[in-house]
Amino acid sequence: MSRIETERGGACPNPGFHVADWHVLWTRSHCEQLVHQQLSGKGFEAFLPMTSVWGTREGARHRIEVPMFPGYLFVRGLVDKRSHVEVRKARGLVQVLGQRWDRPAVVPEHEVGAIQKLMQSALETFATPFLQQGQRVRVVFGPLTGVEGTLLRSNAHTGLLVLSITLLQRSVAAEVHCSAVAPV
């Protein structure tokens, strides 16, 4: 199998690796952007979800962009030991989550895809506690159509759609109209 076939999702040299898998990188505090830039520059598909929060600078409040999952970012392209070593060379990286270099933890595509779609929607997001219980719902119309998450009711008309990354035990939430979701 050629290198190009491998990069397009074909069989990998190591059966434990798949090109399309998302993996999680744990970074030093406030080094997410540094690691993201280094890996993107090396040709890895790196994904650093950002959210907007209120901050104060010089006595004035304004919105600032911060990582949605502080200390973590996602990467694709760990196909063999050489790519794993290249990722590990990034300044600011603590480790690739997983058991060993040849068994990196995998985040399901639908979880990362839901976060990507949430970022594209421009809805306001905020961190929320990780939930293991609650009703699973699918958004049936609006900018998040097709996204599945957990719905928490906050009042009669709107609710919080919680999207979770199970491996990180972290969640983000966006307010949605309750009529826009249906039980899974």
pLDDT at position 101, please? 87
3-state SS, one letter per residue, for the chain = CCHHHHHCCCCCCCCCCCCCCEEEEEECCCCHHHHHHHHHHCCCEEECCEEEEEEEECCEEEEEEEECCCCEEEEECCCCHHHHHHHHCCCCEEEECECCCCCECCECHHHHHHHHHHHHHCCCEEEECCCCCCEEEEECCCCCCCCEEEEEECCCCEEEEEEEEHHHCEEEEEEEEHHHEEEC
Q: How many CA atoms lie within 13 A of 76 on its CB side?
A: 15
pLDDT at position 7, please? 40
Tokens of 152: 């928490």
- Which amino acid, one-letter code, is at 131? L
pLDDT per residue, tens digit, the chain (184 aa), is: 333 333 434 444 444 556 689 999 999 999 999 999 999 999 999 999 999 888 888 889 999 999 999 999 999 999 899 999 999 999 999 999 999 888 999 999 999 999 999 999 988 888 775 645 577 888 988 999 999 998 886 666 788 888 988 889 999 999 888 778 888 8
Q: How far apart are the first and last CA of the chain?
A: 40
Q: What domains sit in the chain, N to C, each tagged with a CATH number?
A: 3-96 (3.30.70.940), 109-183 (2.30.30)
Cα 40 to the center of its chain, rounded Å: 16
C-beta separation of 74 from 23 below 8 A: yes
Beta-bridge partners for 63: 54
